Amino acid sequence: MKKIASLFAALVLGAGVQFAAFAQIVAPDALIKSVTDDVIAIVRQDKAIQSGDTRKAVDLVETKVLPYFDFGHMTRLAVGKDWRQANADQKAVLTHEFKNLLVRTYSNALTQYRNQQIDFKPLKSKPEDTDVLVRTEVRQPGAKAVQIDYNLEKQGDNWKVYDVMVAGVSLVTNYRDSFAQEVRAGGIDGLIKSLKDKNKQLETTVSAKK
Amino acid sequence: MKNKKPEPKVVLRGVASLLLAVGLTACAGPGGHPKDPLEPLNRATYSFNEKADSYVVRPLAEVYDYAPLPVKVGVGNFFGNLADVWIGVNNLLQGKFVDGLSDGGRFLVNSTVGIFGVFDIATELGLEKHDEDLGQTLGRWGVGDGPYLVLPLLGSSNLRDTVGLAGDLHVDPVLSFESVSARNSATGLRFVNRRSQLLGADTTAEQAALDKYEYMRSFYIQYRKSQIYDGRPPREKDPDDEADVDETTPASPAKKENQE
């Protein structure tokens, strides 16, 4: 009897562990929806963000959004074929600076949110897919709906965003021509310097506005 | 004596070779974008446009933006309705008959029930608004985009879309208003209304870009491609996404490069 009981306990335990592991894998579309809903709910209630408090918007993005983005992959995509020339240190700095640029720019965009409605399109993917596209649409009265799509890839048990497309335009690969130009002119270090300068300039305009 | 006047053919050949020369010198630079052989000219037009925008167009759009939302929505709907007929024609030209008929339906419903198009009843009825123009139709037919062009005041374009735009303007109902003053004010209002919808997005682009000219050029090229395929361009495997290639072939000797 004891044997059976312990076997049963082990079974339950095993099933429990398995279930827990299973439950941790959030579907990519569910992930995008929950993050979007979270962020929108906060922005709706936060008068400071609505009136252009970029610092607060950056904090929000850093805590709520960043964990679900793979900036290494994004930077690699933006740099394109020149990525191979960069050494490990340069890659780390590039990723850091590009992340700052994106976070700053789009946190600012968040302060422009005014009750737009976001629709989530049904996900078209197979369970075994490791690379999916989650489609959403932002609707507002009097203007054409804007399509915002997220490319996600599965990393272990988690899904990470590696590209965002607005109206069919990748916000990541849109940098490729500029970045290639910078690398041609001043090498990888030239690109790093331009990114740093740009971030500094954004920093000063943000603090000047306040 | 009669040979003194330059023959038109000679002039034409002169212009052609001049254009070719400009194109070639522009191409000759090591950093030239393959789609932008006329970059020096385009950059000049672009900086003119930026000035015109910051001193005239954007301020106008900012003032206009103070109008109550229902007014702005009504203005947008009114011009959108006038555009729906030509959008429908372009859908038909692209073989999208259901969309084309739906655009015609939109025009009928909105022009009547929607009171001259001010209210977009058709969208409420489930007739979706589309976005087509002759440039997209030509693209659908397989016409290549040609060199990138920046048009005075109108901004980013390319050779194909400029030809398309000439066609669009030729049949533009607003430009065929009888009274000159009505035509001018309607054209101006439409322009300012459209510009006001981009307030905010322009700041984001400004902040995002290392070089706004290059950023807008990339944006335009990708955007038109997406539009031609109605927002669903065929997803191509990115040749520059190196790590993806390496990850799928773990045995590859290049793998070490991407270990960080």
Residue A209, pLDDT > 60, answer no
**What does B168-230 look like in DSSP terms, one character per residue?**
HHHT-TGGG-SSHHHHHHHHHHHHHHHHHHTTTHHHHHHHH-SSHHHHHHHHHHHHHHHHHTT
- Residue A29: give its domain's CATH number: 3.10.450.710
Q: CB A142: neighbour CB atoms within 10 A?
A: 17
Q: Per the structure, how many domains does chain A have?
A: 1
The least confident of B182-191, B209-218, B232-241 is: B232-241
Query: Strands A169-170 and A117-120: what pairing?
Result: unpaired
A104, A169, A184 ranked by CB distance to B222: nearest: A169
Which class for B225: exposed (0-12), middle (13-18), buried (19 or more C-beta within 10 A)? middle
Give the pLDDT confidence score for residue B239 in this predicted structure: 62
Helices and strands of chain A, counted as H and E runs:
7, 5
* Residue-range definition of the domain harbouring residue A204: 2-208
Give the pLDDT confidence score for residue A127 in this predicted structure: 82
Q: Is A155 on the interface with B (CB under 8 A)?
A: no
Cβ distance A48 to A140 under 8 Å?
no
Average pLDDT value for residue range A112-122: 87
Contacting residues for A41 by C-beta, under 8 A, at least 6 apart: none
Q: CB B45: neighbour CB atoms within 10 A?
A: 17
Q: Which residue has the tokens 């084309």?
A: B100
Partners of A170 in the beta sheet? A165
Cβ distance B67 to B76 under 8 Å?
no
pTM listed for this prediction? 0.82
B145 in helix, strand or coil? coil
Cβ distance B228 to B90 under 8 Å?
no
> How many angstroms separate the CA of residue B81 from the nearest CA in chain A?
12
B200, B207, B226 ranked by CB distance to A167: nearest: B226
Residue A130, pLDDT > 80, answer yes
Going by C-alpha positions, the residue among A33, A53, A39, A140 that lies closest to residue B197 is A140
Give the pLDDT confidence score for residue B31 in this predicted structure: 63
Which DSSP helix (H) or strand (E) runs through A37? helix A28-45
Average pLDDT value for residue range A51-71: 91
Residue A14, pLDDT > 70, answer no
User: How distant is the alpha carbon of residue B23 from its chain centre?
Assistant: 23
Going by C-alpha positions, the residue among B110, B108, B103, B111 that lies closest to residue B127 is B103
User: How distant is the alpha carbon of residue A55 from its chain centre?
Assistant: 18
ipTM of the prediction: 0.82
Give the pLDDT confidence score for residue A124 in this predicted structure: 86
The DSSP output letter for B36 is -
Q: Is B236 on the interface with A (CB under 8 A)?
A: no
**Dist. CA A149–CA A131, nearest whole Å:** 13
As given in the structure block, the two tokens for residue B222 are 């990708």
Residue B27, pLDDT > 60, answer no
A81, A112, A167 ranked by CB distance to B200: nearest: A112
Mean pLDDT of chain B: 84
Give the pLDDT confidence score for residue B256 in this predicted structure: 38
Give the pLDDT confidence score for residue A157 in this predicted structure: 87
> How many angstroms separate the CA of residue B177 from the nearest CA in chain A?
24
The least confident of A12-26, B33-47, B193-207 is: A12-26
**Chain B residues in contact with A77 (beta carbon < 8 A):** 238, 240-241
Which of B78, B218, B225 is the mutation pick for testing A, counting most A CBs within 10 A?
B218
Q: CB A49: neighbour CB atoms within 10 A?
A: 24
Model confidence at A125, pLDDT cuts 50, 70, 90, reads confident
Going by C-alpha positions, the residue among B193, B165, B80 that lies closest to residue B129 is B80
Cβ distance B174 to B183 under 8 Å?
yes
Give the pLDDT confidence score for residue B251 in this predicted structure: 39
Most confident of A38-42, A55-59, B24-28, B100-104: B100-104
Average pLDDT value for residue range B211-239: 86
Residue A16, pLDDT > 80, answer no
Model confidence at A12, pLDDT cuts 50, 70, 90, reads low
- Residue type present at position B247: E
Going by C-alpha positions, the residue among A70, A63, A105, A85 that lies closest to residue A195 is A105
Give the pLDDT confidence score for residue A24 in this predicted structure: 58
**Dist. CA A151–CA A130, nearest whole Å:** 11
**Chain A residues in contact with B229 (beta carbon < 8 A):** 168
Most confident of A113-122, B23-32, B184-193: B184-193
The least confident of A48-57, A66-75, B54-63 is: A48-57
Contacting residues for B239 by C-beta, under 8 A, at least 6 apart: A81
Q: CB A125: neighbour CB atoms within 10 A?
A: 16
**Dist. CA A118–CA A147, nearest whole Å:** 10
Model confidence at A50, pLDDT cuts 50, 70, 90, reads confident
Dump pLDDT digits (tens) for B46-80.
Answer: 999 999 999 999 999 999 999 999 999 999 999 99
The least confident of A122-126, A195-199, B73-77, B158-162 is: A122-126
Please judge whether A178 and B211 are an interchain contact, meaning their C-beta atoms are less than 8 angstroms apart: yes
As given in the structure block, the two tokens for residue B88 are 């429908």
> CA A178 → CA A61, A67, A169, B161, B181, distances in Å?
25, 27, 15, 23, 44
Percentage above 70 pLDDT, chain A: 86
Partners of B77 in the beta sheet? none
Q: What is the edge-to-edge ordering of all strands in the sheet holding A158-166?
A: A117-120, A131-140, A143-155, A158-166, A169-170
**Dist. CA B247–CA A152, nearest whole Å:** 16
Q: Which residue has the tokens 């397989």?
A: B142
Model confidence at A210, pLDDT cuts 50, 70, 90, reads very low
Give the pLDDT confidence score for residue A108 in this predicted structure: 84
**Chain B residues in contact with A112 (beta carbon < 8 A):** 200, 204
Contacting residues for A28 by C-beta, under 8 A, at least 6 apart: A123, A125, A132, A134, A150, A152, A154, A159
